Structures are given as structure tokens and as C-alpha cells.
Amino acid sequence: MKKDFIFNDVNKLKGVGAQLSKYLKKKKIEKVKDIILNLPYSETDRSKLYKLNELEVGKIQSIKVIVKKLNFPRVRNLPNTIKCEDETGKINITYFNSREGYLRKLFPLNEWVIVSGKINYFNKNYQITNPDYVTTLDNKDYVVKNIPKYNLTKGINEKKYRSISEQVINQIPSITDWLDEDYINKHNLLGWNLSINKLHKSKDGKNNLSKSFRRLVFDELCANFFTLSESRKRIKKNKLSKKIIKEKSNFIEKRLPFSLTKSQEKVLSEINEDLNSEKRMFRIIQGDVGSGKTIVSLLAISNVIESGYQCALMGPTEILAKQHFELAKKIYKDTNFKIDLLTGKTEIKERKKILENLEKGKTNLIIGTHSLFQKKINFRKLGLAIIDEQHKFGVKQRSELAKKGGNNCDVLLMSATPIPRTMMMSLYGDMDISKITEKPNNRKKINTISKPEKKVNELWPFLKKQILNKNQIFWVCPLIEESSFLDFSSAKKKFDLINKKFPNQVGLIHGALDKNEKEIVLKKFLDKKISILVSTTVIEVGIDFPNANLIVIENANKFGLAQLHQLRGRVGRGEKQGTCVLLFKDGLSKNAIKRIKILKSSDDGFYIAEEDLKLRGFGDLIGYQQSGIKNFRFADPVIHEDLFKLAEKYVFSNEININEDKYSFLLKLFDRAEIINVGEI
């Protein structure tokens, strides 16, 4: 059997017809390898043989009995019955729709047989109807083994799937392991073929700490790291270096109404070094909301422009792009840089002119939304592309973006989602990472308080005071509509309630609004036409609301720590003291109390992300799931932390030719092959 077998379509397998392969596809089982990776979630232990006085109704059990009598009633709808016994009791094995000849062969009179199936009780007798397995003693092996159980959906018969899976596992050709035997032994792993076998045929499949499971995790991680490292190699090619003129940038920096934090300085110099180098920059700035990433990126721009290149800055929304635009205009007020804003709202006529200037090279810096990187937009000489809040970009999109920028274009990404250390490389291993770890020191620490929801009335006077002082308030609810299953507060109801208390002061944003409607409300808030914004969690992360200094979060236990931290980061961005009120239902769990403590004690996003991971475990990190971070099937950064480190070291400190068969096998196995196959960059 050739290795290619593994990547065949499932419908090439014996016994898989059109109908079944349709159902399998629904379960994302399309290729033979998907069957291999679909591990049993549990198994039925049929190895133990029970005495008839030990049977438990409803359980799947195996018994050893002697065949006493076979009954074949010649009446329709009555089952064929085989009466069996052991020294402790009696049992009936019944069959509907089975032929006599077949059963006589299966159950030779007065001989011992092993029968395995679900135990029932009928007419004062134990009974197994249509048993799963029947065999004579000489063929004991057939029953005496563990039967794996797979997660299945409607339309797929368990026994059928198991036989297909068994067929596949038994047919897997012996592959050339991409790991050396020495390495496998040294790190307490197992060979690939052996692991796969054990994962399906023993308890290993559901034990994520077993050697064979860990081997699969290691493979998955390496496939991921290989992809990142390969993508990185392709992007970090030679380019023309950009001049760094210290005096010029110092001059601009001095015009800021504040001085940069040490962290900002450090990151800026890392960026400048990259710009100046003869390898392309592919860097991400990680920093909490409000740590001052945007300013740093805008400062990096000046050297690129002075070197004769254009820059592009892309934000996730119109409002954010506009804010960046206003800020850039301020920063570069005394320069002759030509700066333009291009969004979906830009009128056709103006748009045409902007694009023309861009193409002619008249524009030095263009700021906008996603549309900046559309096909029809042509730069004359793009030297730096900056993407803000990019956490929704995967490896593939990042490398496509780099490709689009062209050979001399440096790429800088910014993310406000602090990532726990273990996950950093598995997410961003294709890039260099800069971290802004401190906040501007004029920033006051946000005052975080918790309150039971039933005392919500105590908040109204506080809100009133804030509004009198011309402060603004976020009110966050977890869901839009009242749900009958979940006891969530409804943003809509809350809006009505608050609006009654503070008429014409309240706006509402929720997931069902389209982008435009959302931006209208946000703009009203930004322009201070309303004081309170009731919303689900859809408020954009990056927008600067210098006037907002109070955020109330309802049902705070529904959010993760990292999410709560992000939410509270939306207030206290200006000079004002920010306050975050966490509302809880009664009866806080120990865990919830711990979480509040952590939030109260720290405002370091990186620390909080680590604690969040520890407290909730990876499986639960909803926030990450949404941002596409959760892309592993087997690996878990909490449980397999050591393997994350090991795989990282393996991949990044070995020179590996990804085109070698054994590596492409690995990449294909985990669907990574096409991610890096985006052509020359």
C-alpha cells in the first residue's frame, strides 16, 4: 500500500458509497487521513467475560455461554431465539430477520460461544438482541479486545464506521518517520505508525497524556511551526534598506505632547533597525489597549517617507481609520507629507483622485480600511504596510498581504490581544515580535469594583454624577435578545431601562446592527451627543474614547479574564480616572472571586492572559476561539506546554527542507501544505 493511500478521498475506500461519504463530509471526514485523525472518544471494553449472574441491564457486556437450544418460530415478526446458559444462569439471544442456516452455523448446539452485546431483560429472562459479536472459543481474539467508539452524526452507523476505520488503520502503510528514532526515544515519544495504531486500538486515544497522543500533538505543533517558519523564510527576503534619519524623527517625536515610554522607545528602535536592514521587516507589535502602539507605528512612518517610499496604514473600521488619520495629520503637521484617507465612504470623485495620486506617487501616507489592499489599488512605491488590530489574520492572510506589498515593502502588524507566552510562537512564529509592556505613566490605574446585580440601583446616582461632569459611560451586556435558556441580561431591555432614567442620553449597539448603523451610533457617542452607550461586546477594541471613564459590565462571570481586561481598557484612556464596575449574579464561585482579585490587582494584559489560561484552561477561552487563535485539534497549551517548547526548538533550530517527502507528508496530514503554497513572495 502506498503512502498516497492516506490522502485518498474516503469514497475510494471499500464500503464507502456516495451516501456515506456525504455524511462523512459533514463531519469533515473527506480523506482517509481524516479517519486516521478522528480518534475514538471512548471505547467499549469487551475483553472481560461476565458470568450470567453478573449481568447489568443496559450495559454492553461479553459472556461465555453454552448453546442449549435454537428456536425458529415459523410466525412472522417473532424473533429467532437461541437459548444459552452458563453455570450461573440462562440467557436468550434473539435475532430478527436472520436466516436459520446462518444462525445454526454461528451457534453450534452444545458448544461454548462468546457473545457480546447490550444486555436486556425481557419476560423474566436476560436477553441480547442482535449481538454485536458472536464467536466460538477457538476464535477468541475476535471478541476479546477493546472496541473503539467514535463520535458520529446522524446517518453513520457506528458499526459501519468502526469497520471502515479499522480497515483504514490496518491498511496504513509503514511510513518513513520524519522523526529520528533517537529523538523519539530521547523525548519519550513513539513512532508514528505505532502511535496511530495505539490511538485507535487502546485507551490512548482519549488520554491526551499518553505517549502516542503526545506524539500526535508534537506532530501537529511541528506542522504548525514548519508552516510559520517556511512562511517566514519566504517573506524575509532581501530588500533595499531604508535610511534612518535620527534628527528628523527626533524632531517629530519632540512635537508630541508627551514623551514616549521606555517600551515604546524600544519598539520604535526595533522597527527602525528592521527598516534599515536589508531583509524585509515582518513584525508584530503586541501591546495592551492604550499602550501607545498607534503612535509608535505612525512615528516609524517618517523615515520610510524620507527614504522615498509610500506608507499604508489599515484599520479594521472606518472610525478607527479616521481616528488614525486625524492623529497622523496632527503628528505630521509641520512636514510636507501628503496624507490621504480612503474608506468605503469616500465619494467616487474623491476616491478617483486619491487613487490617482497614490499611483503617481504624490501621496506619502494613505490610511484606510480593508479596501486599501484591494486589487485595483496601485501604489507607486510602497515601502511600509501597517495593519492595526490584525488578530483576525491567519498565517496565510499575513503572507498574502506581504506578497501584495511587493519586495521592498516592510510589514508591521499591531495587536491588542495579549497572548500567553506558550501560544505566542505558535501564532506568530513567522514574525518578529515586539512587546509594549508598560502603559504611559500619565495613565491612572482603572479602579475595578464588583457588585451584585441586585444592587444595580446604587449605580444610578453615580452615573448621574458622571454625566453632570461630562463623562461618558459604556454599559456592556452579553447578549442581544433575552434567551429562554440562558439567564443573560438583554441589552435591549437594559437600553429601555437606562433610557427611562436618562432620556435622550443613551445609544444602543448590538450584533444585529450592520456596520453602517453601528458606526452611526458610535460616532454619536464619539461626538458626545450621547453619554451612555449600551452594547453587547461589539465595541471596537482600538477606538480612542478619551471621554469615557466608566464601564459597567453585566454578568461579568460570563466573560473571560482577558476579555474583561480588554473591555475595561476602553475607559480611562485620557487623563481622567477610569472606573470599571463588574456586576455579578448572586453566589459567586470561588473561581469568580479569584478572577475579580486578579483583575483588581493587575492591569498588565500579558499577566492577565496567563492567569486566564491557567484558570479556565485552553478549551474554554472563548475570546481566542472567536479570533481564530484556537486552531489546534490535539495540542493544548496548558496540558502540553512542554511540547510547545520542544516543537518550537525542533523546528526553529534545525535547517529543514520542507520539500522532502517526509515533511510534506506531515504538512499534508494537518492541512498545512496549501497554507504555505502561496507562491513566491
Q: Enumerate binding residues for Mg ion (CB under 5 A).
A: 294, 542
> Quick one: 79 or 542, whose CB is closer to Mg ion?
542
Q: Can you tell me the distance from the alpha carbon of 440 to that of 263, in angstroms, rounded to the nearest whole number?
A: 9
Binding site partner of 415, from Mg ion, ligand ADP, none, Cβ cut-off 5-8 A by kind: none
Residues that bind ligand ADP (CB under 6 A): 258, 260-261, 264, 287, 289-295, 416, 440, 442, 542, 544, 573
> Quick one: 184 or 295, whose CB is closer to ligand ADP?
295
From the CB of 471, what's the least distance to ligand ADP, in Å? 16
How would you label 38-66 residue by residue, b for 16+ Cβ within 10 Å and e otherwise? Answer: bbbeebbebeebbebeebeeeebbbbbbe
Distances (CA, A) of 624 to 227, 420, 627: 20, 11, 5
From the CB of 294, what's the least distance to Mg ion, in Å? 4
Binding site partner of 290, from Mg ion, ligand ADP, none, Cβ cut-off 5-8 A by kind: ligand ADP
Q: Which three cell numbers stand for residue 311?
A: 506608507
From the CB of 526, what's the least distance to ligand ADP, in Å? 13
Q: Which three cell numbers stand for residue 120?
A: 436486556
> Quick one: 294 or 310, whose CB is closer to Mg ion?
294
Binding site partner of 132, from ligand ADP, Mg ion, none, Cβ cut-off 5-8 A by kind: none
Binding site partner of 435, from ligand ADP, Mg ion, none, Cβ cut-off 5-8 A by kind: none
> Quick one: 323 or 557, whose CB is closer to ligand ADP?
323
Distances (CA, A) of 45 to 62, 149, 167: 9, 10, 20
> Quick one: 115 or 416, whose CB is closer to ligand ADP?
416
> Quick one: 298 or 581, whose CB is closer to ligand ADP?
298
Q: Which of 43, 321, 353, 354 is nearest to 199 (CA)?
A: 43
Q: Can you tell me the distance from the alpha carbon of 346 to that of 367, in angstroms, rounded to the nearest whole number?
A: 12
> Quick one: 131 or 292, whose CB is closer to ligand ADP?
292
Amino acid (1-letter code) at residue 573: R
Binding site partner of 210, from Mg ion, ligand ADP, none, Cβ cut-off 5-8 A by kind: none
> Quick one: 260 or 513, whose CB is closer to ligand ADP?
260
**Which helix or strand (DSSP H or E) is residue 70 part of?**
strand 60-71
From the CB of 414, what's the least distance to ligand ADP, in Å? 7
From the CB of 151, what's the least distance to ligand ADP, in Å? 42
Q: Where are the beta strands (DSSP E) in 130-220?
A: 133-136, 146-149
> Quick one: 166 or 540, whose CB is closer to ligand ADP?
540
Contact 164, 35 (CB under 8 A): yes
Return the DSSP state at 83: E
Burial of 157 (0-12, 13-18, 19+ CB in 10 A): exposed
From the CB of 295, what's the least distance to ligand ADP, in Å? 4
What's the first-to-final CA gap in the chain, in angstroms?
37
3-state secondary structure 40-66: CCEEEECCCEECHHHCCCCCEEEEEEE
Binding site partner of 383, from ligand ADP, Mg ion, none, Cβ cut-off 5-8 A by kind: none
> Quick one: 323 or 557, whose CB is closer to Mg ion?
323
Q: Which of 134, 64, 55 is nearest to 94 (CA)?
A: 134
Binding site partner of 442, from Mg ion, ligand ADP, none, Cβ cut-off 5-8 A by kind: ligand ADP
Contact 152, 27 (CB under 8 A): yes
From the CB of 289, what's the least distance to ligand ADP, in Å? 5
Binding site partner of 361, from Mg ion, ligand ADP, none, Cβ cut-off 5-8 A by kind: none
From the CB of 431, what's the least distance to ligand ADP, in Å? 17
From the CB of 293, what's the least distance to Mg ion, in Å? 5
Binding site partner of 264, from ligand ADP, Mg ion, none, Cβ cut-off 5-8 A by kind: ligand ADP
From the CB of 446, what's the least distance to Mg ion, in Å? 17
Binding site partner of 544, from Mg ion, ligand ADP, none, Cβ cut-off 5-8 A by kind: ligand ADP
Binding site partner of 295, from Mg ion, ligand ADP, none, Cβ cut-off 5-8 A by kind: ligand ADP
From the CB of 649, what's the least distance to Mg ion, in Å? 33
Residues 6+ apart with CB under 8 A from 245: 303, 306
Binding site partner of 623, from Mg ion, ligand ADP, none, Cβ cut-off 5-8 A by kind: none
> Quick one: 316 or 542, whose CB is closer to ligand ADP?
542
From the CB of 406, what's the least distance to ligand ADP, in Å? 26
Q: Can you tell me the distance from the alpha carbon of 183 to that of 458, in angstroms, rounded to the nearest whole number?
A: 63
Q: Can you tell me the distance from the alpha carbon of 390 to that of 416, in angstroms, rounded to the nearest whole number?
A: 9
Residue 452, helix vs strand vs coil: strand
Gyration radius (Cα) of the chain, Å: 32
Binding site partner of 263, from ligand ADP, Mg ion, none, Cβ cut-off 5-8 A by kind: none
Distances (CA, A) of 267 to 185, 236, 419: 41, 19, 17
Return the DSSP state at 97: S
* Phi-psi label, residue 293: left if phi above 0, alpha if psi -120 to 50, beta otherwise: alpha
From the CB of 388, what's the least distance to ligand ADP, in Å? 7
From the CB of 387, what's the least distance to Mg ion, in Å? 11
Contact 64, 49 (CB under 8 A): yes
Q: Can you tell me the distance from the alpha carbon of 639 to that of 637, in angstroms, rounded to the nearest whole number?
A: 6
Q: Can you tell me the distance from the alpha carbon of 378 to that of 382, in angstroms, rounded to the nearest whole number?
A: 9
> Quick one: 294 or 399, whose CB is closer to Mg ion?
294
> Quick one: 263 or 310, whose CB is closer to ligand ADP?
263
Q: Which three cell numbers stand for residue 268?
A: 520604535
Binding site partner of 592, from ligand ADP, Mg ion, none, Cβ cut-off 5-8 A by kind: none
Return the DSSP state at 200: H
> Quick one: 546 or 617, whose CB is closer to ligand ADP?
546
